[in-house]
Amino acid sequence: MDLGIKGRKAIVCASSRGLGRACALALAEAGCEVIVNGIDPARAEQTAREIAEATGATVTGVAANVGTPEGRAALIAACPNPDILVNNNAGPPPRDFRQLSRDDMIAGLDANMMTPILLTQMVIDGMVERQFGRIVNITSGSVKMPLIGLDLSSGARAGMTAFFAGVARQVAASNVTINNILPGPFETDRLRSAAMAQSKMRGVSYDELQEQRKQGIPAKRFGQPDEFGKLCAFIASAHAGYMTGQNFLIDGGAYPSAF
């Protein structure tokens, strides 16, 4: 399917690896000019080069911490008028809520709620003026089904979701949409590192822990990043203008709900 976004400009935050990388790749495959972002300059450049070589698209690596004013400014300087913005940022590490200090909570809110809001403020008026815009927020399945130890991440992302619910309705008539993707477990470095830490804490082998987790998913497997990326590309496509303010859960059926 032609997604109708060839030549569109896209910023994909935190996209030098993992699910962000998958989104950048899928958008490049659809013909977008893509800004790849990461904190590590070498990794950002390498990812940009690999995606460009694989797709033939124009892909630029921007080393920046999206959670800082300077990082956000660097992204906008590299792409002043994006048509597509994929908000993504790492969440705080797992921690019992009793151990969270006030500073910890502010940092979590800054990274996973305020940062995407601030970036959206920087680009949305241009999208409205051009009568096309797609903002896709990568949140987490834990927004709907909280996980113990990820309370701060879940809370911050849930706050962001509620914030954008009203904003999405304000700009829908201008063909600007705002939607959220809620991933469950995907085969990424983050999943593997978290499982490694949990296996040590629980005293079980890494393989055993991963198999236990897979068995708790109706699909009996973890998601593949390219599945996530292609969903992101469709939500950002010209065909998705009538979908806004929605939460797209992609978790292999792990969340048990009919609605």
Residue 197 pLDDT greater than 80, yes or no: no
Burial group, residue 128, by CB count within 10 angstroms (0-12, 13-18, 19+): middle
Q: Which CATH class is domain 9-186+225-250?
A: alpha beta
Say what percent of the chain tops pLDDT 90.
85
pLDDT computed for residue 208 by the predictor: 86
pLDDT digits (tens, 9 = 90+) for 99-111: 999 999 999 999 9
66: region left, alpha or beta (phi > 0 left; psi from -120 to 50 alpha): alpha
Quote the CA–CA distance of 220 and 254 in Å, as a whole number: 10
* Per-residue confidence (pLDDT) for residue 92, from 0 to 100: 87
Closest Cα partner for 89 from 60, 49, 119, 61? 119
> Tokens 């399917």 identify what position?
1
DSSP symbols for 143-175 = GTS--TT-HHHHHHHHHHHHHHHHHHHHHGGGT
Q: Are 37 and 13 in contact (CB under 8 A)?
A: yes
Whether 181 contacts 136, CB under 8 Å: yes
pLDDT, tens digit (0-9, with 9 covering 90-100), for 21-58: 999 999 999 999 999 999 999 999 999 999 999 999 99
Query: Inter-axis angle of helices 225-235 and 18-29, to 10 degrees?
Result: 50
Q: Residue 1 contacts by C-beta under 8 Å, 6 or more apart in sequence?
A: 239
Give residue-wise pLDDT tens across range 59-91: 999 999 999 999 999 999 999 999 999 999 988
Residue type, 175: N
Residue ranges matching CATH 3.40.50.720 in the chain: 9-186+225-250
Question: pLDDT value at position 79?
Answer: 98
Vertex 48 angle, CA 44 and 51, to 5°: 140
Instruction: Give the CA radius of gyration of the chain.
Output: 18
* Residue closest to 141 by CA, chosen among 112, 180, 87: 180
